[in-house]
């Protein structure tokens, strides 16, 4: 995203500064450090950024973990969104670290929203119950998302990444206060039928109907 913004800014003759935070850039980018998180929170609160974009880790929320097939085990569910209480060792640490980063992202966005700044949050769409009758956890179920939506101008909706050139569908939900965002998304919350099956924006429709 940073390189794309810089490229477009250059094409339009606009100067832009982008600060990207990613662990692959080095230890200073490790947001599991409380000091690193606190520094960024202060900067956001001081209005140093016109827009804050967050894409917290999603691997522990993957529906593939509840597919019933061989592979990584499920780590959390709708009933236990912060992780199963019986997790041990590596699995417990994986969920703990993800929770820290998600809480940080949500806090940063709430501060940005409160001060009237632009913001964007990305995470997989909540697709409801799986074929194995399990309800995977989703950050879109949590209170921080509802708090963000209470701020003026904050909207949410979903899209398929394949619509933007990806080689896979990957239904994704975006929430934000950003000019033009609604034109890119199918607006509204994820919806489900009485059994918990997804009835929202990416359901297959009968042939012959729009």
**What was the pLDDT predicted at 206?**
39
Which of 142, 87, 75, 136 is CA-nearest to residue 109?
A: 142
**What was the pLDDT predicted at 208?**
39
CA 182 to chain centre: 16
pLDDT (tens digit, 9 = 90+) per residue, 79-137?
999 999 999 999 999 999 999 999 999 999 999 999 999 999 999 999 999 988 899 99
**Positive or negative: CA dihedral 139, 184, 180, 56:** positive
**What was the pLDDT predicted at 137?**
95
| Model confidence, pTM | 0.90
Kindly list the domain boundaries of the chain, sorted by start residue: 31-187
Is residue 150 over pLDDT 80? Answer: yes
Distance CA(111)–CA(122), nearest Å, equals: 17
pLDDT (tens digit, 9 = 90+) per residue, 165-180?
888 889 999 999 999 9
**Positive or negative: CA dihedral 110, 116, 117, 122:** positive
Mean pLDDT (the chain, rounded): 90
**What was the pLDDT predicted at 21?**
86
What do you get for the CA distance between the two ends of the chain, in Å?
A: 33
As given in the structure block, the two tokens for residue 112 are 């940005």
Distance CA(138)–CA(77), nearest Å, equals: 8
């Amino acid at each position: 995203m940073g390189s794309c913004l810089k490229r477009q800014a250059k094409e339009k003759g606009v100067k832009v500064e982008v600060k990207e935070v990613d662990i692959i850039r080095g230890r200073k980018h490790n947001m599991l450090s409380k000091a690193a998180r606190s520094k960024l929170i202060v900067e956001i609160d001081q209005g140093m950024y016109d827009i804050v974009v967050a894409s917290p880790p999603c691997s522990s929320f993957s529906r593939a973990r509840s597919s019933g097939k061989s592979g990584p085990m499920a780590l959390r569910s709708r009933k236990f969104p912060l992780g199963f209480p019986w997790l041990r060792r590596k699995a417990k640490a994986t969920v703990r670290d993800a929770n820290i980063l998600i809480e940080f992202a949500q806090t940063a966005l709430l501060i940005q929203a409160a001060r009237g700044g632009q913001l964007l949050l990305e995470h997989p769409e909540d697709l409801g119950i799986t074929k194995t009758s399990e309800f995977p956890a989703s950050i879109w179920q949590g209170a921080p998302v509802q708090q963000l939506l209470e701020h003026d101008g904050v909207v949410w909706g979903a899209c398929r990444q394949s619509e933007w050139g990806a080689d896979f569908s990957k239904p994704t939900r975006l929430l934000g206060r950003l000019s033009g965002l609604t034109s890119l998304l199918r607006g509204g919350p994820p919806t489900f039928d009485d059994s918990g099956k997804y009835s929202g924006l990416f359901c297959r429709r009968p042939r012959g109907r729009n």
